[in-house]
Structure 1
């Protein structure tokens, strides 16, 4: 399969360790993940995957140190997001990597999102530097903005969710488990079927974010009222759809894929934005949390909803 410029970095682990920078996994890198070569025993049914086996480069020893200091790391992460982003979070997973560990968190309540922090670890001293924990500002702001976008356009997203749920009920497709999103997600607002991301140049949501940061208890109505519709640029806000075949013995079905694309193109009441669509087989790579493979189907050009 041809992997184009929209493909998300093959090592989400490396991205998470570095915390990301500027628009590295937004904009031109949206909606799809390159799957590194892996043996068959590394693959698991997407319906059974909860993050088990997920690993970051050179993280074997730091993973052990992080686990031994889990309480300390959790407290540091909760403090970081509360003080810097006025957000209460739950820590779901800590994964060791070279020089540190990635801390996967989920916001409590709304705006709802998943993101991550990085805590440095001195491997030689077997010491966690909890007071030096950090999170990439762009990545966290992006996650919060995605959650806010979902909040203020909840009815439109409900139409999208209902459509994917109907496909699941019909036994045609499935998505990632909630546990997988919690333990190895970290990509902003996420559902089993899609995640939201945006480029830094997307300015329509900025007043919403600014108002939320001033008052996290602001009403949804007031947040919606400050959204700058006139500044909205559809190809700067991405709704990245990632679906899996419902049954283990099925390869991605081109007829089904084309029908999903057609349905999305014809929908008039779903959120505005740029839609990428990927249909994978039924399996996901345990180590990378990626379902993208040689037989995956994707769109050469996004669906634009203005």
Structure 2
């Protein structure tokens, strides 16, 4: 009986010690540490399914419940308005509706979004009233057309990043994350294309595609001189992450990648912005930017003029 009492006392003491440690952990965790623990995940695991938009909580359950109906209407909308087949990957509640993330699986390849109106009180969506932000989809389609026109240079750029990943301990986004949480036009795991061409410059090329979605690359290449365009108007935004948790962005690697971009032959003419993050990404925003991120952009970015 005495031995049983001793064992019971030891068990209670251990339980109190464990519980005390848990309470102590909660007490000593700062608000910043709690936010980081709850909001960030390894980019190696991030799929974009947790994408969250400001003030979208009320409409998010509707987006999930009516996803099939949303996807069908969005697919029809893009075929009719933009003559383009799309895959609907995700639908996320927004403040005044539902944001629908889509990808064009065929050339011109791009990611973009549309908005679905919703009545949250009645839990009702309006498939016939899908809308897009003025000129946004048109600009995203143009980035896909540019990738077709510059296919050799884009191939060289993609090969370059495969080599970068083998050479340095860095990774890009998972394809699922791109599909579920991005809308940046022509997008790869390592970069996306942005442009500053005015509407009067890109609209005629887009119109050729809208008039004939089967238009050949050769015909499109006649409409845009990939060697003569202003390098300042075409941007390649690169996001890389350290490939292991707890790895900080490495400045030596960052500087070497900059040098590699500057010296590499065959890359597209344009501006290059580079961001090197640690291994963590905000699972709600899909952004890797943090105070420790290394950045080369703005007036300091790389400009390849030939």
| Shorter-chain TM-score tier | 0.7 to 0.9
2:89 aligned with 1:92: yes
Partner of 2:281: 284
Contact 1:202 1:233 in 2 (8 A): no
2:231 aligned with 1:237: no
Q: C-alpha deviations, 1:265-300, integer Å up to 9, x for none?
A: 112311111110111111101011000010101115
Q: C-alpha deviations, 1:117-155, integer Å up to 9, x for none?
A: 000111111111111111123210111111111111111
Give the Cα–Cα distance (whole angstroms) in 2 for the partners of residues 251 and 164 of structure 1: 20
Task: Provide the aligned C-alpha RMSD in A.
Answer: 1.8
Partner of 1:13: none
Q: Normalised by the size of structure 1, how large is the TM-score?
A: 0.84
Partner of 1:195: 192
Query: Per-residue deviation at 1:231?
Result: 6.3
* Structure with larger Rg: 2
Give the Cα–Cα distance (whole angstroms) in 2 for the partners of residues 41 and 167 of structure 1: 31
Q: C-alpha deviations, 1:222-265, integer Å up to 9, x for none?
A: 11111145862211211101111112121111111001111111
Contact 2:84 2:104 in 1 (8 A): yes
Which one of 123, 147, 150 corresponds to residue 150 of structure 1?
Answer: 147
Contact 1:202 1:232 in 2 (8 A): no
Contact 1:100 1:118 in 2 (8 A): yes
Partner of 1:111: 108
Give the Cα–Cα distance (whole angstroms) in 1 for the partners of residues 296 and 200 of structure 2: 26
Q: C-alpha deviations, 1:62-94, integer Å up to 9, x for none?
A: 111122222221121111111111000010000
Contact 1:168 1:246 in 2 (8 A): no
Partner of 2:303: 304
Q: C-alpha deviations, 1:137-186, integer Å up to 9, x for none?
A: 32101111111111111111111111111121235210000000000011
Contact 1:100 1:120 in 2 (8 A): yes
Query: Gaps (5+ residues) in structure 2?
Result: 1-33
Give the Cα–Cα distance (whole angstroms) in 2 for the partners of residues 240 and 203 of structure 1: 24
2:72 aligned with 1:75: yes
Q: C-alpha deviations, 1:36-67, integer Å up to 9, x for none?
A: x9422311111110013211112222111122
Say how many residue pairs are matched: 270
Greater shift after overlay, 260-269 or 175-184? 260-269
2:37 aligned with 1:40: yes
Contact 2:248 2:277 in 1 (8 A): yes
Q: C-alpha deviations, 1:3-29, integer Å up to 9, x for none?
A: xxxxxxxxxxxxxxxxxxxxxxxxxxx
Which one of 248, 255, 259 corresponds to residue 256 of structure 2?
Answer: 259
Contact 2:168 2:253 in 1 (8 A): no
Contact 1:205 1:228 in 2 (8 A): no
Greater shift after overlay, 263-272 or 104-113? 263-272
More helix by share: 2
Contact 2:49 2:181 in 1 (8 A): no
Which one of 169, 176, 181 corresponds to residue 178 of structure 2?
Answer: 181
Partner of 1:162: 159
* Bigger RCO (CA 8 Å, 6+ sep): 1
Query: Per-residue deviation at 1:207?
Result: 4.0
Query: Gaps (5+ residues) in structure 1?
Result: 1-36
Give the Cα–Cα distance (whole angstroms) in 1 for the partners of residues 168 and 251 of structure 2: 16
Query: Per-residue deviation at 1:214?
Result: 1.5
